[in-house]
């Protein structure tokens, strides 16, 4: 589903390498945590998957596409297969919860009744059916993140990327958010979550890919779980 083959990435000439010779494969239906200290390359890895950045060397393959040779006209198709959630929610503050979720399908020309149904389904998925008409600033942080997850899932992507989705949330709420991601994963979506949060990683016991200075220093399958003890902050 996602493969990195000897991927090196440098933002600009003279910069240190953000990723160094990274090789990994994430299969369809997996849930992988990407962990590492600040600056270790987690966000860069995510940006390469959605082609927000390109590899300097090596190949990135996503859902059967080699991104180094993907024609520009196919980028929107790739991005529709990949949902993304960020630490800071990024909701449209002047739109209701339902409008936030409906926005992209509307822009893509999905028929009105189908949009309404997709919005209702995704709100149910994240347990917020009763908040459809609220504005983002009337919701708690955890609720806002659930709206962001609903928005990312509305096109039924095959991959969901979550970049520090619990970074602004309290521990109990963080756990609820990851439980939703876990449920989404069990329903078939491949989930990749970047995090600093060792408590979450140790609790959910998924595959752990650890980066240090842009290199993979641990890649541990779900069944081989050993607690992450290192300081990731
Ligand atoms: N837009 C950018 N331009 C130049 N260098 C960048 C840019 N974004 C990140 N970097 C550098 O690339 C390296 C990897 O950063 P990245 O953001 O991927 O790390 P991270 O593990 O996601 O960190 P954090 O946990 O703080 O988000 C760092 O050295 C960082 O300074």
Ligand 1 in reach of 171 Cβ (< 6 A): no
Q: What does each C-alpha distance from 16 to 10, 37, 51, 218 come to in angstroms? A: 7, 16, 20, 21
Query: What's the gap in Å between 20 CA and the centre of ligand 1?
Result: 13
Identify whether 232 is part of a domain.
Answer: no
Query: What's the gap in Å between 186 CA and the centre of ligand 1?
Result: 30
119-178 pLDDT tens trace: 999 999 999 999 999 999 999 999 999 999 999 999 999 999 999 999 999 999 999 999
Residue 210 has phi, psi (to 5 degrees) of -110, 130
Q: What does each C-alpha distance from 140 to 42, 169, 196 come to in angstroms? A: 26, 10, 22
Global confidence as pTM: 0.94
Ligand 1 in reach of 42 Cβ (< 6 A): yes
Query: What's the gap in Å between 10 CA and the centre of ligand 1?
Result: 10
* Confidence tier at 229 by pLDDT (50, 70, 90): low
Q: Are 103 and 97 in contact (CB under 8 A)?
A: no
Identify whether 51 is part of a domain.
Answer: yes
Ligand 1 in reach of 41 Cβ (< 6 A): yes
Q: Which domain does 49 fall in, by range?
A: 2-220
- ipTM for this prediction: 0.96
The total domain count for the chain is 1
Is the model more confident about 4 or about 80?
Answer: 4
Query: What's the gap in Å between 18 CA and the centre of ligand 1?
Result: 6
Which ligand 1 atom sits closest to the C-alpha of 45? 18
* 18, 56, 215: residue to mutate for ligand 1 pocket, most atoms within 8 A of CB: 18
Identify whether 233 is part of a domain.
Answer: no
21-54 pLDDT tens trace: 999 999 999 999 999 999 999 999 999 999 999 9
Tokens of 222: 């779900």
Identify whether 225 is part of a domain.
Answer: no
Ligand 1 in reach of 44 Cβ (< 6 A): yes
Which 3 state secondary structure label does DSSP give 150? helix
Residue 215 has phi, psi (to 5 degrees) of -115, 150
147 vs 197: CA distance, rounded Å: 21
Identify whether 166 is part of a domain.
Answer: yes
221 vs 101: CA distance, rounded Å: 33
Identify whether 21 is part of a domain.
Answer: yes
Which 3 state secondary structure label does DSSP give 46? helix
181-223 pLDDT tens trace: 999 999 999 999 999 999 999 999 999 999 999 999 999 888 7
Could you tell me the CATH number of the domain that includes residue 112? 3.40.50.300
Identify whether 230 is part of a domain.
Answer: no
The DSSP 8-state label assigned to residue 69 in this structure reads S
Which ligand 1 atom sits closest to the C-alpha of 46? 18
Identify whether 103 is part of a domain.
Answer: yes
Cα atoms in the 13 Å half-sphere on the side-chain side of 48: 27
């Amino acid at each position: 589903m996602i493969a990195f083959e000897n991927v090196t990435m440098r933002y600009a000439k003279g910069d240190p390498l953000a990723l160094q010779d990274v090789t990994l494969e994430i299969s369809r239906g997996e849930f992988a945590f990407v962990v590492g200290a600040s600056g270790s390359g987690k966000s860069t890895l995510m940006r390469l998957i959605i082609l927000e950045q390109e590899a300097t060397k090596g190949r990135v393959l996503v859902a059967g596409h080699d991104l180094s040779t993907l024609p520009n006209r196919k980028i929107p198709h790739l991005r529709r297969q990949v949902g993304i959630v960020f630490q800071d929610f990024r909701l449209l503050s002047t739109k209701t919860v339902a409008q936030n979720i409906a926005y992209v399908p509307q822009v893509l020309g999905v028929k009105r009744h189908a949009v309404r149904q997709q919005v209702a389904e995704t709100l149910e998925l994240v347990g917020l059916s009763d908040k459809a008409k609220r504005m983002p600033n009337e919701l708690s942080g955890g609720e806002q993140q659930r709206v962001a997850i609903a928005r990312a899932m509305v096109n039924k992507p095959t991959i969901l990327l979550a970049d520090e989705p619990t970074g602004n949330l309290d521990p109990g709420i963080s756990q609820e958010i990851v439980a939703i991601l876990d449920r989404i994963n069990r329903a078939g979506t491949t989930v990749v979550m970047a995090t600093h949060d060792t408590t979450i990683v140790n609790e959910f016991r998924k595959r752990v890919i650890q980066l240090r200075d842009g290199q993979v220093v641990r890649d541990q399958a779900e069944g081989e779980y050993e607690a992450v003890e290192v300081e990731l902050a």
